[in-house]
Chain A
Amino acid sequence: NAGVMQNPRHLVRRRGQEARLRCSPMKGHSHVYWYRQLPEEGLKFMVYLQKENIIDESGMPKERFSAEFPKEGPSILRIQQVVRGDSAAYFCASSPPSLDGNYGYTFGSGTRLTVV
């Protein structure tokens, strides 16, 4: 089991460009979550998705940010027209469907976005 796979590990974008971050959940996990860790700050929840559905996007900035988890393929976090303040580590986590038992959350290694 390869765990939660995120790519790229590092991404450099110029201001105004688009950033696309990918996340493949663990095998058997159908729930995906995105978190952002700004420099010297804690992790903040952004969005929770199931296949083809956004369940909770209460932590997503209202503009420029979007997320999807299509029926086939990885989950994508998309940031349009990036600004320097978007520079952060973006982590993806996944979990199985059931809330019972010791399901826990498994995190990926993150994508470190630098906007220059």
Chain B
Amino acid sequence: KQEVTQIPAALSVPEGENLVLNCSFTDSAIYNLQWFRQDPGKGLTSLLLIQSSQREQTSGRLNASLDKSSGRSTLYIAASQPGDSATYLCASDTGRRALTFGSGTRLQVQP
């Protein structure tokens, strides 16, 4: 059974810092891994999707990497802004189309 863990659970940084969010998974036979953002009381916004054959994906100030052999993915946020404050979720798909989510990292970027 796939288990997904995210650390840290919460993070507070001053504006402008570069930061890294970590995601680990127990079953390396994943089909893809997806990062989402969730704002309080809102739905999920897809940020990046990494297929199992890929090593990383980039979108603007966001970069996500995937290392299947070690069961890890990282989300790198460059030059953080107060608008980046949200909960960041990673989710793995083993091909059954049933995503397994981590518990998330709550990010607060201080102006």
Contact = CB atoms under 8 A, between A and B. Distances in A.
Nearest to A4: B43
A99 B31 contact: yes
Contacts of A110: 42-43
Given A42-B102, A42-B103, A104 B97 contact: no
Interface residues of A, number: 26
Given A99-B31, A107-B44, A31 B97 contact: yes
A35 B99 CA distance: 9
Interface string A42-56: 111100100000011
Contacts, number: 58
A99 B95 CA distance: 8
Interface in A39-97: 41-45, 48, 55-56, 58-59, 91, 93, 95
Nearest to A104: B49
Interface residues of B, number: 23
Contacts of B74: none
Interface in B25-69: 31, 34, 36, 41-46, 49, 51
B101 interface: yes
A59 B98 contact: yes
A22 to B, nearest CB: 15
Return the 9 tightest CB-CB contacts between A and B, nearest first.
A109-B43, A107-B44, A45-B98, A43-B101, A42-B103, A104-B49, A42-B101, A110-B43, A107-B43
Interface of B: 31, 34, 36, 41-46, 49, 51, 89, 91, 95-104
13 contacts: A31-B97, A35-B99, A43-B101, A56-B97, A56-B98, A91-B43, A93-B99, A105-B99, A106-B46, A107-B43, A107-B45, A107-B46, A110-B43
